Amino acid sequence: MPLAVLILGAAALCAPTLRAQGTAAPVATATAKPKAAKPHAAPDAAASATPVKTFGNKNAPITMEVFSDYQCPSCANFYEQTLKPLLGPDGYVAAGKVYLVHRDFPLEMHPYSAIAARWANAAAKIGRFQDVDAALWDNQGSWSADGNIEKFVAAALSPADFKRVQALLKPCSAVAPKSKADRSAPAADLGCSVDPYIVQDIGLGYSVPVQATPTFVIIYKGQKYPASSGFVTYPILKQFFDSLLSQ
Amino acid sequence: MTTTTRGSIGWVLLLVGRLALAGIFLFAAYAKMKPQAATGWSLGTIKTSLSMFAMQVDSYQLLTPRLVSPAAHLLPPFELFLGVWLLSEVLLRYSAMVTTLLMGLFFATQVRTYRMGLEINCGCFGPGERLGPKTLLHDGSFLALAIAVTVGAFVINRRKRAVSVDPVSASAISTAQHAE
């Protein structure tokens, strides 16, 4: 009897909220088409180190910064299940509600993640980040096994663009920068023009602080919300965005 | 130690345990519902905070998105209710039992998630705390406390009933009568 009273009491307390909230759509219905329309990217690398790794309108009310590691399985899952619908034609990025920022946070434990980040940043420098980003996530299982990232980057770009990216990475001979468990500054190859981008992202990650990948930070009307870690489905993320937009 | 002294100690321990559990639940509810950014309290910010909590519930990968939202919106108000119920001391055996069941559920979920290797935020007291050994330790301690309070509440209630049957023992457990 007291249990029944408790449940009824809690239900009564929450009923208006639940009615207003409705129920979220199941994951399956939210899965995006593989080749979704891509919102514009700003290819102006000279202006700032980060805008080339962004999706959507910079003036969107919500900014979402995602710290990820290209070799992390949860990050790939997050990209496939959550970010793809967000970036799709019916997603909130295309609708101008969300500005998505990619941040590199390669973890020490993954042997190829920092190299993948180099490829992505080189592509970002020529304004082709989105193609390479998608190729890296879509084929993570393949290149993670043998480290042959180049094959998938080449498939994602035109031959001319691929040559430009290759040329950018040619001077990169030292080990690519990775985040450290002790949060010490990662070493960057001074001759490698993309390493500063990765080092900058890792530094930003330390300040969050990023403790695991994926981690994302949401900013709405200049207010930064606490970082969230782990895989979150698109319907639940969308529900959070809706609650922000209805404030 | 006399029976009266033992009864007094038992009553004090039960009081402390009950108040601690009530405090834990009230704080947990507050931490989940408070504005998560530097904004004031309003229905909108509470809704946003609960939606943010829903993301934490979702990251446990235990419930489908259809169930995540109701669970995330029900749990903090229920924690608030449970905290108030524990404070009120009304039907203490039942409130303690519900607390133990809820704590057991939380603890089991956390152990499962930790064993799966998911690197997520606990969500126990709002966003920020990473699920790890520290979280398991404090939630395990809370579970032990809830079990102790439940056992204590039942023992005291039994003594109280014994008194009503055997008035001779009344002086020995007078403190127990105060507790109920």
**pLDDT of A162-218, one tens digit each?**
999 999 999 998 899 999 989 898 888 888 999 999 999 999 999 999 989 999 999
Contact A231, A81 (CB under 8 A): yes
Residue in B59, B86, B91, B101 to test binding to A, most A beta-carbons within 10 Å: B59
Question: Tens-of-pLDDT digits for all 180 residues of chain B?
Answer: 566 676 678 888 999 999 999 999 999 999 999 999 888 899 999 999 999 999 999 999 999 989 999 999 999 999 999 999 999 999 999 999 999 999 999 999 999 999 998 889 888 898 878 899 999 999 999 999 999 999 999 988 888 777 766 655 555 555 555 544
Total number of domains in chain B? 1
Closest CA in chain A for residue B50: A240
Using CA coordinates, name the residue in chain A closest to B54.
A236
Shortest alpha-carbon distance between residue B17 and chain A (Å): 21
pLDDT given at position B175: 52
pLDDT of residue A228: 93
CB contact under 8 A, B36 and A11: no
Is the Cβ pair B121, A23 closer than 8 Å?
Answer: no
8 Å CB contact of A211 and B119 = yes
**Mean pLDDT computed over A132-160:** 96
The tokens describing A215, both together, are 């981690």
Asked whether residue B155 is domain-assigned, the answer is: yes
Closest CA to B82 of B149, B11, B175: B149
pLDDT level of residue A3 (50, 70, 90 thresholds): very low
| Domain interval for residue B95 | 3-34+76-179
Q: What is the pLDDT of residue A38?
A: 42
C-alpha distances out from residue A166 to A13, A119, A124, B2, Å = 60, 8, 13, 85
A32: pLDDT strictly greater than 70? no
Distance from CA of B98 to the nearest CA of A (A): 8
Judging by beta carbons within 10 Å of its beta carbon (0-12, 13-18, 19+), is residue A221 exposed, middle or buried? exposed
Whether A233 sits inside 8 A of B58 (CB atoms) is yes
> Within a domain: residue B71?
no
Stretch A91-115: mean pLDDT: 96
User: Does the residue B108 lie in any domain?
Assistant: yes
Cα(first)–Cα(last) distance of chain B, in Å?
Answer: 23
Residue B26: the pLDDT is: 97
Q: What is the pLDDT of residue A181?
A: 87
Q: What is the mean pLDDT of residues A102-121?
A: 96
Q: For A41-71, write each residue's pLDDT tens digit.
A: 443 333 344 447 999 999 999 999 999 999 9
For tokens 């507050």, name the residue. B30
Neighbours of B139 (CB within 10 A): 22
Q: How many CB pairs lie under 8 A apart between chains A and B?
A: 132
Tokens of A76: 């790939």
* Mean pLDDT calculated for residue range A9-27: 33
A120 confidence band (pLDDT: 50, 70, 90): very high
Looking at the domain assignment, is residue B45 inside a domain? no
Please give the pLDDT value at position A33: 33
Q: B159 is written with which tokens?
A: 């003594």
Chain B residues contacting A via beta carbons under 8 Å:
36-39, 42, 44-45, 47-48, 50-52, 54-56, 58-59, 61, 64-66, 68-70, 73-74, 77-78, 81-82, 85, 91, 94-95, 98, 118-121, 126-128, 130
Instruction: Please report the pLDDT score of residue B39 as a whole number.
Output: 81
Q: What is the number of alpha carbons within 13 Å of residue A224 lying toward its C-beta?
A: 7
pTM of the model: 0.79
How many other C-beta atoms can be found within 10 angstroms of the C-beta atom of residue B36? 22
What is the spatial distance between Cα A216 and Cα A204, in angstroms, rounded to a whole number?
A: 12
Q: What single letter denotes the amino acid at residue A138?
A: D
Q: Is residue B118 assigned to a domain?
A: yes
Low-confidence winner among A31-45, A149-163, A226-240, B18-32 (lowest mean pLDDT): A31-45
Indicate the burial class of B149 (C-beta count within 10 angstroms; 0-12, 13-18, 19 or more): buried
- On the question of pLDDT at A6 being above 90, the answer is no
Please tell me the distance in Å from A243's CA to the nearest CA on chain B. Answer: 5
Which domains occur in chain A, in start order?
47-245 (3.40.30.10)
Q: What per-residue confidence (pLDDT) applies to A188?
A: 82
| Cβ-Cβ contacts under 8 Å for A7 (sequence gap 6 or more) | none
pLDDT of A52 reads 73
CB spacing of B65 vs A9 below 8 angstroms: no
Write down the ipTM of this complex: 0.81
Helix (H), strand (E) at residue A17: helix A2-21
